[in-house]
């Protein structure tokens, strides 16, 4: 079987004829009595920024974690660029960069040494590793503080190094789970600009945030999740048009509140 299955997928989106990079089919994941992800089916296309939005406990991080192969679905199928998350996890791990919601850095090492560690895990070394670290640090504007220890950073600085770590190996797909929580508005501005630049270079990104305005700035399409299910999935402009509003926030609120009314749930299931 050819190892380079990237973009050899013959699955095309019906509307746009853009290749489907990630196919998620009837995926369910339970933790004890909680169904975190409940029969989710979505296609994610090459080069798009795809947003997951929904209340606390909606299942966003669990879905993202299954895409990273760190969490296994109980049922259903996820195929990324032709590779199955169940049987071909090592091939998928090489293709993805993951910015986890919970910061994953060694506090007693400097930001630079953390990046060296992560780069080494991706097989980068020598001159290339140094170049990639410098590039990633510039991306998050952390060159000046890179030699300081992580436990001396502010919360936002840790977040920025967390993002840099996911970019070192130039992943085909970037998974960003609430990457800008606690980041100041100026840094956020730079990060969002940089994300748009990555998109223009052909980076596929899956993005979650509770900041709907940020989602609107960044995402091409959005899936609205509640209680493990996808309630709506469409382009941002189509969602607003269908609801007859100019505000994505109103769309998201109405879709989720209406689902809660139907299911009789109060807030969410956390
Ligand atoms: N490892 C786990 N063990 C038990 N339950 C879990 C685990 N991970 C997630 N859950 C549960 O699954 C549900 C979905 O959680 P998840 O973290 O995916 O939500 P989320 O949409 O990312 O929420 P948030 O916006 O708060 O980050 C929650 O009810 C949560 O308590
Ligand atoms: Mg989450």
Q: How confident is the prediction along the chain (270 residues), in pLDDT tens digits per residue? A: 333 444 434 444 444 567 899 999 999 999 999 999 999 999 999 999 999 999 999 999 999 999 999 999 999 999 999 999 999 999 999 999 999 988 889 999 999 999 999 999 999 999 999 999 999 999 888 999 999 999 999 988 998 999 999 999 999 999 999 998 888 888 788 788 888 888 888 899 999 999 999 999 899 999 999 999 999 999 999 999 999 988 999 999 999 999 999 987 655 444
Q: Within the chain, where are the H helices?
A: 60-67, 89-95, 111-121, 126-139, 155-167, 185-200, 212-218, 236-243, 248-263
Residue 132: the pLDDT is 97
Ligand nearest to the CA of 33: 1
Quick check: 96 and 127 in contact, CB under 8 A? Answer: no
Residue 17: the pLDDT is 66
Residue 12: the pLDDT is 45
Mutate-to-test residue for ligand 1 from 53, 59, 66, highest number of ligand atoms within 8 A of CB = 59
The string of pLDDT tens digits covering residues 71-86 is 999 999 999 999 999 9
Closest CA to 213 of 192, 194, 184: 192
Sorted by sequence, the CB contacts under 8 Å of residue 252 that are 6+ apart come out as: 53, 212, 224
Average confidence score pLDDT of the chain: 90
Q: How far is the CA of 57 from the centre of ligand 2 (A)?
A: 7
Q: Which residues pair with 173 in a beta bridge?
A: 96, 204
Q: How far is the CA of 56 from the centre of ligand 2 (A)?
A: 7
Joined tokens for residue 126 = 């020598």
Q: How far is the CA of 228 from the centre of ligand 2 (A)?
A: 12
Question: Could you tell me the domains of the chain?
Answer: 48-59+95-263 (3.40.50.300)
Residue 190: the pLDDT is 78
């Amino acid at each position: 079987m050819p190892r380079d299955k990237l973009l050899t997928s013959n699955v095309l989106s019906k509307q746009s004829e853009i290749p489907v990079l990630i196919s998620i089919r009837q995926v369910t994941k339970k933790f004890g009595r909680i169904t975190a992800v409940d029969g989710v089916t979505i296609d994610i296309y090459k080069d798009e920024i795809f947003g997951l939005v929904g209340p606390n406990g909606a299942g966003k991080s669990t879905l993202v974690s299954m895409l990273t192969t760190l969490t296994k679905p109980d049922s259903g199928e996820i195929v990324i660029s032709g590779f199955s998350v169940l049987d071909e996890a090592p091939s998928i791990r090489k293709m993805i960069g993951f910015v986890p919601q919970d910061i994953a850095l060694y506090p007693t090492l400097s930001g630079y040494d953390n990046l060296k560690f992560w780069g080494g895990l991706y097989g980068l070394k020598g001159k290339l590793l140094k170049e990639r670290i410098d590039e990633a640090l510039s991306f998050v504007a952390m060159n000046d503080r890179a030699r300081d220890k992580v436990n001396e950073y502010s919360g936002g600085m840790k977040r920025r190094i967390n993002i840099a770590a996911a970019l070192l190996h130039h992943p085909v797909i970037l998974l960003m789970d609430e990457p800008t929580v606690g980041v100041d508005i100026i840094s956020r501005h730079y990060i969002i600009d940089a994300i748009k630049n990555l998109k223009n270079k052909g980076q596929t990104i899956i993005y979650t945030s509770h900041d709907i305005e940020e989602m609107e700035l960044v995402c091409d399409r959005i899936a609205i999740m509640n209680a493990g299910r996808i309630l709506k999935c469409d382009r941002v402009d189509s969602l607003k048009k269908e609801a007859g509003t100019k505000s994505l926030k109103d769309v998201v609120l109405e879709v989720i509140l209406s689902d809660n009314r139907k299911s009789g749930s109060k807030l969410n299931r956390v």
